[in-house]
């Protein structure tokens, strides 16, 4: 094993595999340590159109056609009638973002990216758990890990990338991880067969439903499989007693439109529960290390932004790592500050919508959209992942916030009650994690 590589990456999910592949192709010696073994179950199956350019640069876009379902948009059902919903197609977005995305089983997708990483020359180790990272202010770090055989190993890389996902290894170990005090949610989910899909070219679209305690997703996957999840307020999930599967079906029954659609559903996986959504670290970089993807921050998955933000931050981290390896300390710090600003920009864009998604005002705006000066198209661009460099999108999203404010005030009592419940739930902790992620 290369015990003193240029780069050591903690975590072999989309973020770790992306940055590892690109750095290895640039000629660096890279070691990647993954605590589990691919393929392994993971949630987060709905990708965004802006994932596609990244997949193309990784050289795996052609493989996606073999493992994924084409997703041309997202539809939102806002009442009890399952036939009354509104579809937002990606081809109406502003700018030049791709006109489709993919829905994919994450165990297959992550495994593909991991193998692509290994084939690029990364030294990969699975079932290999990082036990400790001793950070040094000078950037000379020491990493202790344990392999599947129980043998411990010591690594002295020139740079450490934390891509450990929701385990948030460095942030958790160093006290940097902070619970989001403005938002919290938890989820129950599973895979099913026998569920009707949308007609025609929209058969691969993700479907979103509101219900009294949160929102539901339906994500079409290959082989007639549908991923269904309920993202709920923690105060609701704390009511759960006894059988998780029974509670899951009781929850779906609270949304008549969804209940009607899944009347013939057959479970093909266990029902899993996960908590502690929405957190961030109070730092993302330091001398000789970088936090990317969910290792730095995670927000509610309502707009399927997780995988895209993770892979985007992985690409953004490449020049940071290389400045450090080239002993360009001033350029390193400048690149880190740009990376931090860019990461914050993406998180803010999605967080604003996420915090308000279950409010009556937001439901009304999604129910009756108006494309006044292309505001609706800007929202579609946000759904596509175009939240960084497109100035026209950001200007129109700013206008949407004003429109939302007016709608919020028109229904002040209900709006205030929804905001109060969100903030009350942000103080709660729901730590049941059985997602094997």
pLDDT digits (tens, 9 = 90+) for 364-394: 999 889 999 999 999 999 999 999 989 999 9
Give residue 72's pLDDT. 98
Give residue 330's pLDDT. 98
Q: Tell me which fold the domain 70-102+186-274+358-437 belongs to.
A: D-Amino Acid Oxidase; Chain A, domain 2 (3.30.9)
Q: In what order do the strands lie in the sheet with 177-179?
A: 177-179, 279-281, 297-298
Give residue 203's pLDDT. 97
Question: How much is the average pLDDT of 317-328?
Answer: 98
Please, is 134 exposed, middle or buried when counting C-beta atoms within 10 Å of its C-beta (0-12, 13-18, 19+)? Answer: exposed
CB contact at 8 A, 75 and 198: yes
Please, is 150 exposed, middle or buried when counting C-beta atoms within 10 Å of its C-beta (0-12, 13-18, 19+)? Answer: exposed
How far apart are the C-alpha atoms of 17 and 92, rounded to whole Å?
A: 31
What's the Rg (C-alpha) of the chain? 21
CB contact at 8 A, 362 and 403: no
Give residue 124's pLDDT. 98
How far apart are the C-alpha atoms of 9 and 7, rounded to whole Å?
A: 6
307: Cβ–Cβ under 8 A, 6 or more apart, which residues? 14, 44, 47, 48, 51
Q: Tell me which fold the domain 7-45+105-179+279-347 belongs to.
A: FAD/NAD(P)-binding domain (3.50.50)
Give residue 346's pLDDT. 92
Residue 395: pLDDT band with limits 50, 70, 90: very high
How far apart are the C-alpha atoms of 278 and 378, rounded to whole Å?
A: 25
How far apart are the C-alpha atoms of 391 and 311, rounded to whole Å?
A: 22
The residues spanned by each domain of the chain are 7-45+105-179+279-347, 70-102+186-274+358-437
Question: How much is the average pLDDT of 317-338?
Answer: 98
Summarised one tens digit per residue, pLDDT across range 282-312 is: 999 999 999 999 999 998 889 999 999 999 9
Instruction: Decide if pLDDT at 5 tops 50.
Output: yes
Instruction: Decide if pLDDT at 435 tops 50.
Output: no
Give residue 260's pLDDT. 84
Nearest Cα to 229, choosing from 259, 260, 273?
273
List the single range of 41-50, 77-86, 135-144, 295-304 with lowest mean pLDDT: 77-86
Instruction: Decide if pLDDT at 127 tops 70.
Output: yes
10 by DSSP, 3-state: which?
strand
pLDDT > 70 fraction of the chain, expressed in percent and rounded: 98
CB environment 379-392: b (16+ within 10 A), e (fewer):
bbbbbbbbbeebee
Residue 84: pLDDT band with limits 50, 70, 90: confident
Rounded to whole angstroms, what are the CA distances from 80 to 202, 227, 369?
21, 21, 19
Residue 437: pLDDT band with limits 50, 70, 90: very low
Q: Report pTM.
A: 0.95
CB contact at 8 A, 320 and 60: no
Summarised one tens digit per residue, pLDDT across range 211-255 is: 999 999 999 999 999 999 999 999 999 888 878 999 999 999 999
């Amino acid at each position: 094993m290369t015990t003193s590589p240029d780069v050591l990456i903690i975590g072999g999910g989309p973020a770790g595999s992306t940055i590892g592949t690109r750095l290895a192709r640039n000629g660096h010696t890279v070691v990647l340590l993954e605590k589990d073994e691919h393929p392994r179950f993971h949630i987060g199956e709905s990708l965004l159109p802006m994932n596609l350019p990244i997949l193309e640069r990784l050289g795996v876009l052609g493989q996606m056609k073999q493992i994924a379902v084409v997703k041309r948009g997202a539809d939102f059902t806002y009442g009890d009638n399952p036939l009354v919903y509104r579809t937002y197609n990606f081809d109406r977005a502003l700018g030049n973002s791709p006109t489709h995305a993919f829905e994919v089983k994450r165990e297959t997708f992550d495994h593909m990216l991991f193998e692509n990483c290994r084939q690029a020359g990364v030294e990969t180790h699975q079932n290999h758990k990082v036990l400790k990272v001793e950070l040094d202010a000078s950037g000379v770090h020491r990493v202790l890990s344990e392999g599947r055989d129980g043998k411990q190993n010591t690594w002295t890389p020139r740079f450490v990338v934390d891509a450990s996902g929701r385990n948030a290894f460095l942030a958790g170990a160093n006290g940097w991880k902070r619970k989001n005090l403005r938002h919290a949610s938890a989820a129950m989910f599973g895979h099913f067969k026998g569920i009707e899909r949308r007609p025609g070219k929209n058969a691969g679209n993700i479907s979103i439903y509101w219900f009294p305690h949160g929102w539901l997703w339906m994500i079409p996957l290959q082989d007639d499989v549908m991923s269904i999840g309920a993202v709920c307020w923690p105060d609701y999930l704390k009511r759960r007693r006894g059988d998780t599967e029974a509670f899951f079906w009781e929850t779906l029954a609270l949304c008549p439109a969804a209940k009607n659609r899944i009347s013939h559903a057959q479970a093909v996986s266990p029902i899993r529960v996960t908590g502690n959504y929405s957190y961030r670290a109070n730092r993302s970089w330091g001398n000789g290390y970088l936090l990317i993807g969910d290792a730095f921050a995670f927000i509610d998955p309502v707009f399927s932004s997780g995988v895209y933000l993770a892979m985007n931050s992985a690409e953004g981290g490449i020049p940071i790592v290389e400045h450090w390896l080239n002993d360009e300390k001033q350029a390193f710090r400048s690149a880190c500050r740009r990376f931090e600003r860019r990461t914050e920009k993406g998180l803010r864009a999605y967080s604003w919508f996420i915090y308000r998604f279950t409010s009556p005002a937001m439901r009304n705006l999604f129910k009756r959209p108006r494309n006044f000066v292309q505001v609706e198209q800007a929202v579609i661009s946000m759904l596509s992942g175009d939240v960084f460099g497109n100035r026209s999108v950001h200007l129109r999203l700013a206008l949407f916030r004003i429109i939302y404010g007016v709608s919020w005030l028109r229904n002040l009592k209900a709006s205030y009650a929804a905001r109060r419940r969100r903030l009350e739930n942000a103080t709660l902790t729901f730590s049941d994690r059985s997602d094997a992620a």
